[in-house]
Amino acid sequence: MLKQAGNTVSVEKKEIYDSRLTSGARSGGSNGDKWSQSLQSVFELALESQGPERTARLLEKLAGQLRAAPRGVNTPYVNTIPPEQQAPFPGDRDIERRIKSYIRWNAMAMVVKANSTTNVGGHISTFASSATLYEVAFNHFLRARTENFSGDIVYFQGHAAPGMYARAFLEGRLDEKHLQNFRQELAEGGGLSSYPHPYLMPDFWQFPTVSMGLGPILSLYQARFNRYLQARKLVNWAGEPKVWAFLGDGECDEPETLGAITLASRENLDNLIWVINCNLQRLDGPVRGNGKIIQELESAFLGAGWNVIKVIWGTDWDDLLARDKSGLLIKRMEEAVDGDYQKYSVEPGSYTRRHFFGKYPELLELVNHLSDEQIQRLLRGGHDVRKMFASYKAAVEHKGQPTVILAKTIKGYGLGEAGEGRNITHQQKKLNEKELREFRERFKIPISDDVIAETPFFRPPADSPEIKYLLERRKALGGFLPSRRVAVTPLDVPKLDAFAEFFKGSTSEASTTMAFVRLVSVLLRNPAIGRQIVPIIPDEARTFGMDALFKDIGIYSSKGQLYEPVDRASLLYYHEAKDGQILEEGITETGSMASFIAAATSYATHGVPMVPFYIYYSMFGPQRVGDLFWLAGDIRAKGFLLGATAGRTTLNGEGLQHQDGHNLLHAASIPTCLPYDAAFAYELAVIISDGLRRMYAEGEEIFYYIALYNENYAMPLMPAGVEDGVLKGLYKFKPGPEGKKLKAHIFGSGPIINSALRAQEILAERYDVSADVWSVTSYKLLRTDAIRCQRWNMLHPTQPPKKSYIEELLAKEQGAFVAVSDNIRTVPDQIAPWVPGGLFTLGTDGFGRSDTRARLRRFFGVDAESTVIATLYALAEKNLVGRDVVAQAIKDLGVDPEKMQPQLI
């Protein structure tokens, strides 16, 4: 029975496949018609013999069974495009094969060479499996930027980088020296970066991809951002660029890869094409040894509403499938798991004959005419240029949905015993002479025996048919790829006086978040750059008081607003519009960050500078999606990141998971990021105004991280001449009173500067101490400047030493220095080595808790009283006051010396 049932299933699948062959209809074509005719006649018979009521009951019962029946979302394990619907391949297959073989060789040679003298690593087998996927795309589809066209956007799989370099070598864009120095970037003359890194190769790479999952999610949001630019008429493209992402099947394990795919179908992103190289292996072994990654991905993508094109079998299989009348071949294809297929790629043809075809005698007969050698060479779809061309063509022509191409390949294809299909192949970096000879023979590389051991690079002469063909193809497609070009007109950014209202101070209380929202509204109204502003929010606009912007500038929605919003009558209604300016991303920090990056690189990608302001819960910033923050540095992003509701004690009620006291440190670790911790509205205005100048007028490829807080207090008037200090990271905000016995200095940042200011009063009134209060806007910038000077001094020991900004500024200051921060102590400690006589730091180390700000600040020891005690203690440490004074202050100020430790370990 079971066997019969199995057969029935496979025969049905065979019928479906056959029907595709004959009618091409995905739904089953004529086969479907037969079924519908049969059901119709049974229905009519029932109606006639049983009457309408009983027929209705019978049908209801059947419908009930249908609802309960399990329904998968898979099509048979064969190519989606049947042979007769396949677009013919327009290229010269022989020349393209030779070009591809040379690229294969050079890609392998650069890794092998590098590892013959160094241990710098590299990957051979990823590109070996995807060479055809890339070559067909390069020769026929990927369009570069030209005067009239913005250029397709291509995310290359990071580990396939050697293949891209090897192609650029044939194109004459790179020379032997570059290839020789693969992964040796510090060698004389420079070298090639391991993976796509725009920071390291700014004229070549556009998009970093090697942290798995980031390329895919960036590509999704990039495709959507392209639509946003068009909807807002910020670009005027003759044709819409396609966004292509090449990724690995193992990479699909990353939540970033699959986690946002419904965005693409929801937004009808038919400008997006993913090519997943299903070589069935990842780093350690099979991706789904016990299952089928292609089928698993197919159901995920079909379920998510994508157009799915499977390219599983090469042309050789078409004949076998056509001749198999029993449906057994498809049944066998479906029975075998990926672990089996990997084994077939490693074993000789005789093994596949015995174990794959041999399971059913009919299948053995089907391949009787093939030698073992021919069986072994039966191509997988991803290695067949004709199949790949047809799938790409179908993808670029598909309307209304994004497309994913699932191409089956063999990892390490062509490496033979050196790694083809082997579990070790991902790490294979060396080939012995025998293996090199085999590789050469297989791909017919004209390299002689006497030099083969040196793995020389091979480039045919410039006038060879191969080079001419390759250059002609790229010319027809607009030029070379990958290629990064920055040709952008500077923006006419507002001068500082445009922000005058923020310098006046206010008696009414406000938070820095409120000041920021106000500042964005000012910028949005600016005639020169208002339209370039891109506010990005992950479902927190109301938290930050940004809902006021909804009505003014609208929330971007490709569908406009199809419903009457419930709050339509109110002033601040939820206003979605086709040309809306706000990107309201929903609850996805990853997606929001991907949007930020698309906007932040628009100056390079499209030559259209955009000014993103991405505001989010500070805790869910760098620590949540730190790898994307890091990537923002590599990709040379420009824009503003606003870590709102920062501060371990300032955001008080939300407790441990929300209270951020350390993301400034994460941000500080990114080389191109300027982290600022602003205390006052005018600081914010000075920082943002200068950021606009540096990034969009001067063209610096940097970005800003600004901590914003939600504590309300009166915003002071800007003291004269502090702009430079605000930008450099430190300035004296309020000197202590004259005529006191003792001198001290308190560094404060963000709202905690108010602890310093109250401590200043107490110290003066009760302890005869004049404490200057300084605002520290950026510990990182002070530190980097100091390190730069220190390093120069070390390397130029006999020359007059340079002094950093902080050293200059504090040189003449006397007394004790204390820092108080709503962040962990490591944040202020960054500058300790350059503070005269050392720095005593108060911070919020340990987990946060829910309570009032007052109690939290006492608990962590960052309130005014704790700051007074710390200042007296720092003075006592210098023997400037007696320890009894400190003991008395602890009593006077009511601080419990035995209170709980916030940080236990």
Ligand X SMILES: Cc1ncc(C[n+]2csc(CCOP(=O)(O)OP(=O)(O)O)c2C)c(N)n1
Query: Checking DSSP bridges between strand 730-734 and strand 769-776, what pairing results, if any?
Result: antiparallel
126 lies in the binding site for ligand X (CB under 6 A): yes
Residue 459 binds which entry of ligand X, Mg ion, none, CB below 5-8 Å type-dependent: none
Choose from ligand X, Mg ion, none: what does 20 bind? Cβ within 5-8 Å by kind.
none
Query: What is the rounded CA–CA span in Å between residue 127 and residue 412?
Result: 8
Buried b (16+ CB within 10 A) or exposed e, 576-591: bbeebbbbbbeebbbb
Q: Kindly tell me which of 279 and 866 has the beta carbon lying closer to ligand X.
A: 279
Confirm or reject binding of residue 135 to ligand X (CB under 6 A): no
Instruction: Provide the phi-psi class of 768: left if phi over 0, else alpha when psi is between -120 and 50, else beta.
Output: left
Q: Of 76-84, 276-284, 811-819, 867-875, which segment contacts ligand X by CB under 6 A?
A: 276-284
Q: Decide if residue 411 touches ligand X (CB under 6 A).
A: yes
CB of 302 to ligand X, least distance (A): 21
Q: Please state the closest distance from residue 405 (CB atom) to ligand X, in A.
A: 14
State in angstroms the smallest separation of the CB of 120 from ligand X: 15
**CB of 248 or CB of 861, closer to ligand X:** 248
Separation between Cα atoms, residue 393 and residue 89, nearest integer Å: 10
Cβ atoms of residues 569 and 551 within 8 Å: no
Q: How far is the CB of 405 from Mg ion (least distance, A)?
A: 15
Of 250 and 675, the one with the shorter C-beta distance to Mg ion is 250
* Minimum CB–partner distance for residue 471 and ligand X (Å): 28
Site for ligand X in 744-803 (CB under 6 A): none
669 binds ligand X (CB under 6 A): no
Any idea which residue has 């308190």 for tokens?
746
Minimal CB distance residue for ligand X: 248
Within 267-286, the residues that bind Mg ion by CB under 5 A are: 279, 281
Distance (Å, whole) CA 389 – CA 383: 11
Residue 127 Cβ, how far from ligand X at the closest point, in Å?
Answer: 9
Sign of the torsion angle spanned by Cα atoms 835, 838, 840, 844: positive
Quick one: 293 or 868, whose CB is closer to Mg ion?
A: 293
Site membership for ligand X, residue 283 (CB under 6 A): yes
Count, residues near Mg ion per rule CB under 5 A? 5
Distance, in Å, from the CA atom of 614 to the CA atom of 255, rounded to the nearest integer, reads: 22
- In three state form, how does the secondary structure of 82-117 look? CHHHCCCCCCCHHHHHHHHHHHHHHHHHHHHHHHHH
561 binds ligand X (CB under 6 A): no
Q: Which is nearer to ligand X, 13 or 310 (CB)?
A: 310
> Could you say which of Mg ion, ligand X, none residue 139 binds, taking C-beta under 5 to 8 angstroms by partner kind?
none
Is residue 412 within the footprint of Mg ion (CB under 5 A)?
no
Tell me if 132 contacts ligand X by CB under 6 A.
Answer: no
Q: Which does 268 bind (CB under 5 to 8 A by kind): ligand X, Mg ion, none?
A: none
675 binds Mg ion (CB under 5 A): no
Q: How many residues does the chain have?
A: 905
With CB under 5 to 8 Å by kind, the binding choice for 159 among Mg ion, ligand X, none is: ligand X
Q: Is 250 in the site for Mg ion (CB under 5 A)?
A: yes
Question: Is 158 a residue that touches Mg ion (CB under 5 A)?
Answer: no
Stretch that binds ligand X, among 24-32, 280-288, 690-698, 761-769 (CB under 6 A): 280-288
Query: Which CB sits closer to Mg ion, 265 or 279?
Result: 279
Contact indicator for 656, 622 with CB cutoff of 8 Å: no
Among 75, 79, 219, 281, binds ligand X (CB under 6 A): 281
CB 848 within 8 A of CB 658: yes
One residue of 18, 135, 152, 249 binding Mg ion per CB under 5 A: 249
Query: Which one, 126 or 689, has the nearer CB to ligand X?
Result: 126
Question: What CA–CA distance (Å, rounded) separates 531 from 231?
Answer: 12
Query: Beta partners for 698?
Result: none
Q: Which amino acid is at 407?
A: A
Query: Residue 466's binding partner, choosing from Mg ion, ligand X, none, with beta-carbon cut-off 5 to 8 A by kind?
Result: none
Do strands 533-537 and 583-584 pair parallel, antiparallel, or not at all (unpaired)?
parallel
SS3 string, 497-535, reads: HHHHHHCCCCCCEECHHHHHHHHHHHHHCCCCCHHHEEE
Q: Does 82 bind Mg ion (CB under 5 A)?
A: no
Q: Residue 577: enclosing H or E segment and its boundaries?
A: strand 576-577
Closest CA to 206 of 287, 150, 130: 150
End-to-end CA distance of the chain: 65
Asked whether position 276 contacts ligand X by CB under 6 A, the answer is no
Query: How crowded is residue 446: how many other Cβ atoms within 10 Å of its Cβ?
Result: 10
> What is the distance of C-alpha 50 from the center of its chain?
63
Residues 145-204 touching ligand X, rule: CB under 6 A, are 159
Nearer to ligand X, 330 or 405 (CB): 405
Question: Residues binding ligand X: what is the number (CB under 6 A)?
Answer: 18
277 binds ligand X (CB under 6 A): yes
Provide the 8-state DSSP code for 416: G
Binders of ligand X in range 233-272 (CB under 6 A): 248-251
If binding is defined by CB under 5 A, does position 807 make contact with Mg ion?
A: no
Residue 249 or 576: which CB sits closer to Mg ion? Answer: 249
Q: Give yes or no for residue 162 binding Mg ion (CB under 5 A).
A: no
The CA distance from 823 to 826, in Å, is 8
Smaller CB separation from ligand X, 212 or 363: 212
Q: Quick check: 248 and 159 in contact, CB under 8 A?
A: yes
- In the bound complex, what is the minimum distance in angstroms from residue 649's beta carbon to ligand X? 34
Q: Which amino acid is at 103?
A: I
Looking at beta carbons only, is 211 or 268 nearer to ligand X?
211
**Nearest approach, Cβ of residue 261 and ligand X (Å):** 16
Cβ neighbours of residue 327 closer than 8 Å, sequence gap 6 or more: 7, 10, 11, 12, 13, 14, 15, 17
- Write each residue from 85 to 124 as x if it is in contact with ligand X (CB under 6 A), else as -, in one continuous string: ----------------------------------------
Segment lying near ligand X (by CB under 6 A), choices 164-172, 274-282, 581-589, 761-769: 274-282
191 binds, among ligand X, Mg ion, none (CB under 5 to 8 A by kind): none
Tell me whether residue 277 or residue 760 sits nearer to Mg ion (CB atom).
277
**Span 421-480, contacts to ligand X by CB under 6 A:** 426
| 248 forms part of the interface with Mg ion (CB under 5 A) | yes
> Min. distance of Cβ 191 from ligand X in angstroms?
20
Residue type, 139: N
In whole angstroms, the minimum distance from the beta carbon of 281 to ligand X comes to: 5
Say whether residue 211 binds ligand X (CB under 6 A): yes
State how far the Cα of 320 lies from the Cα of 312, in Å rounded to an integer: 14
Helix axis angle for 465-476 and 125-140, nearest 10°, is: 60
Give 335's contacts (C-beta < 8 A, 6+ positions apart): 359
Q: How far is CA 182 from CA 129, 425, 521, 686, in A?
A: 20, 20, 48, 43
Nearest CA to 533 out of 515, 553, 514, 508 is that of 553
Shortest separation between residue 600's beta carbon and ligand X, angstroms: 21
Output 156 or 544, the one with its CB closest to ligand X.
Answer: 156
Kindly state the smallest distance separating residue 427's Cβ from Mg ion, in Å: 13
Distance (Å, rounded) from C-alpha 195 to C-alpha 157? 9
**Positions in the binding site for Mg ion (CB under 5 A):** 248-250, 279, 281
**Positions in the binding site for ligand X (CB under 6 A):** 126, 129, 159, 210-212, 248-251, 277, 279, 281-283, 287, 411, 426
